[in-house]
Structure formats: structure tokens, C-alpha cells
Structure 1
């Protein structure tokens, strides 16, 4: 088994329960970690034998573009798509952080972390 991480994917999106979050939007950071058997790809040097991190990044960008009230929901959508589209993945952890959330305090970020296993 091996681990592939795609860290610090920076996006601008419109998630949240407040009307202003829909209109103004906010900055987000997404981290993805996947566990898969990487033995074959380490020998063949072929993209078809591994998890394509470009594919992971595209899933994140596409799902983050769909508005959600809760970060939990968008995080779960990212997990579900990864498992649906990339069969060799055994375990995935996705972290979605809202930077400077509008919660009436000096808060750097709010982070939701979900993990799914096959």
C-alpha cells in the first residue's frame, strides 16, 4: 500500500448558510489523502497503474463549485466521487477548510475532515 496526498488546493467558493456567503463567497483550502496499492506503478512507471492526482484535483474543483450550506455535505460529495471514479483507492481522507469564516470572531479557519474506506 501507498499514500498519495494532494495538499493545499486553494479555491474560491460560495458555501454556507448565510445569504452573504452565497453572494460574496469565501476562500477554501482542500487536502486529499488516498491510500492505494502503488506497487505496480512503482515498477511500471505508467500513469494507468496509479491514482492520477490531476483527476483528484478535478473532482475537488468540480464538487467545490456546487453550492452547499454545510461543508460536511461538500466533503462527503468529494469522497463519494473519488470512490466512484477511482476503483483502486482503498481509503480516502478529505479535509475542507473555510478560511476566515464569518462567525463573529477572530478565527483563522474552520475545517471538516471525513474519511471513507472501501
Structure 2
């Protein structure tokens, strides 16, 4: 496996991990805690982040050449989600997953 395919595998894993983390935290943690955690802007951002990550992973898995465009968008959404989760607090797992995915997706989009 060359560096490019290794980098892509790492990015796919980061995307899938972020997808699981954002969706899981939105549906279990945020819905249970309530308050700022379920404010529409934050909650929609978490769901959007999960979907962007899922789509990025899928495009890389199927070998689509447009994955770079999706990864670029995914990186921006992950950055916004990390900021939102960090601001609300008590969401360290999501912040970490988003930042890891953002870094991996920026590298793939370059």
C-alpha cells in the first residue's frame, strides 16, 4: 500500500469514526441532556457533520474522483462542528473526532 492509499485509508477511518461519534452523541448525549445541546443550529450541525463524514468515506471507498471536493466541504463542516461542541461543553469525544477528521480531510482535499 503506497502513501496515498494509506493516507486515504486513514481518512476513511477518521470520517467513519466522526460519523459514528457525531450521530451517536447527537442521538444519545444531546437529546438526553437537552438545553443548548438540542438548540436547532447546533443539533442540525451535528447531523450535517455526520452526513458529510459518511458521504466523504463513501466517495473514497468507491474511488470517486470527486472525493476531494467532498473532503474539502467535510473539513469545513467538521471545523464548525468542533467549535460548536467545544463552546457548548461536555462533548470532548465529538470535538476530538471532528478535529481528527478535519485534519485528514484537509490533507485529502489538497
Structure 2-normalised TM-score? 0.32
If each structure's strand is expressed as a fraction of its own residues, which one has the higher value? 1
If each structure's helix is expressed as a fraction of its own residues, which one has the higher value? 2
- State the structure with bigger RCO (CA 8 A, min sep 6), 1 or 2: 2
Structure 1-normalised TM-score? 0.30
